[in-house]
Chains A and B, each alone.
Chain A
Amino acid sequence: MTLDQIITDLQLKVLTEPIDFSSISPTHGYVSDMLSCVMTGAKHQSIWVTLQAHNNIVAVACLLELAAVIITENAQPDAETIKKANEEGITLLSCPQNSFYISGKLWEMGLRDQ
């Protein structure tokens, strides 16, 4: 499953500069709004689903080399955060639904936590 399919199927809004999403294949998923839990639990190349939209999510995603971050419930990162994400090559996506719904959809698509 590619990031491209995920973006299309879940109708996610791409907040960062578009890249070749079809070349990215997320291997796992992780949901949490606590950054240290993400640091502990998310595997690299994961999709991270969170309500957090402040600029530290980019540092976390970058250090873990996550495939993408889905920011739920229309939480909006500021321009500085998006700029930083572009610099670090991190894809930020957004959607109006909550984290439970998005995780359910990702699970339906075949993404797992392990």
Chain B
Amino acid sequence: MNNRDTNFDQSPSRFKGKIITDEMAGKITRVEELAYILKISDVMSSSLKTLSPDHSMQDVLVTMRENRISGIPIVDDDSHALLGMVSTEDLIKCLANQDIDANLTKYMSTKLVTVNSFDYLTEALKLFARTGLGRLPVLDENGTLAGILTKGDVTYGLLRALEHDYIEEEVRRYRASHLFEDIESDRSSLILRYTIEHYDFTHGGSASSKIKRALLRLGANAQLARRVGIGIYEAEMNLIIHTTHGGTIHVEIEPHQISVYVWDEGPGIEDVDMAMKPGYSTATEEIRELGFGAGMGLPNIARCADEMDLRSELGKGTHLTMKFFLKGEDVVGEGYTGKGKKETENDA
């Protein structure tokens, strides 16, 4: 989506006349993105009132009034070719001349700016901005009139698309939140696995963020999702910072319990009791400069999890287990989403 001219007025001013760089592309809003996804045919009005060139301006007046429209495409009866447009402005000129019985061809505009139905919406936005026109006739592949596009159609089309996005997320949430209701077994669980690379600070926190999002979709309350997210974040960063070859995060989600297993193959923790002490860290100076190695990671995990088990052997590796127990309406995947789930204040 970079290097495209987006000099249209619906675009925020920061993009005006600028070439979009990769950096800016990251800041493109969903609406701007939609302008590159939606085709003009997706949003145009295709139920059209047209007139053939043998009508009078009186017919134009009546058609506009009856259909509450402000512009009429004039189309040849035989060839279906678009010949011109008559707008309210043309009608006003005609009324000023007291010339209402004139043939409409006398007043219609023939210098037309048109768009193609198969073009992206962004092309139309550019034209609206450049020409100041209020409506654009839309032509199909054969060059015949397929519809009319107004700024109102654009707004409505974008809103509809945004609403669709919203509904999609709601549906996803709803489906996921009933996951365990719909699948019958003696004991159902959902397992998420993530591989974490050593020293991959760029993706640090992405597994925990994804797990948190998954829990919210499953209907977990916000406080629980945050607590699990923080616990897993610390474990994830430990794999990035302290292991030789990274490690694995394995999350098993059941309606009443979330079990997190984190393991690596080295180097192992020399003294687990010391490692659990707040403030104790073996992180290098370089790591500390990045803000890690406060010696709070493992104590944080202990604080967040309902149960924690840490086993390590030097030269072999470390296994960490975290358990979170879900009570009452806090269960996930059984359709309790949003019901009576108030967040308490001041929880971290």
Taking Cβ atoms with an 8 Å cutoff, the residues of A that contact B are: 17, 27, 33-37, 39-44, 50, 52, 54-60, 62-65, 79-80, 82-83, 86-88, 114
Contacts and interface: CB of A to CB of B under 8 A. Distances in A.
In order of increasing CB-CB distance, the 3 nearest A-B pairs are A59-B205, A83-B26, A36-B296
Interface of B: 22-23, 26-27, 29, 201-202, 204-206, 208-209, 212, 222, 226, 229-230, 233-234, 237, 290-297, 299-300, 303, 345-348
Chain B contact residues: helix, strand, loop or mixed? helix
B346 A43 contact: yes
A34 B291 CA distance: 4
B291 A63 contact: no
A17 B26 CA distance: 10
A36 B234 contact: yes
Given A33-B291, A44-B348, A63-B209, A39 B226 contact: no
B233 A59 contact: yes
B300 A39 contact: yes
Contacts of A36: 234, 237, 292, 294-297, 300
Contacts of B29: 17
B348 A34 contact: no
Contacts of A43: 346-348
B26 A60 contact: no
Contacts of B201: 54-56
Given A82-B23, A88-B209, 19 more contacts: A17-B27, A34-B293, A36-B297, A36-B300, A37-B294, A39-B230, A39-B234, A39-B300, A40-B303, A42-B348, A44-B226, A56-B201, A56-B290, A60-B205, A63-B205, A64-B226, A65-B222, A65-B226, A86-B26
A25 to B, nearest CB: 13
Nearest to B223: A44
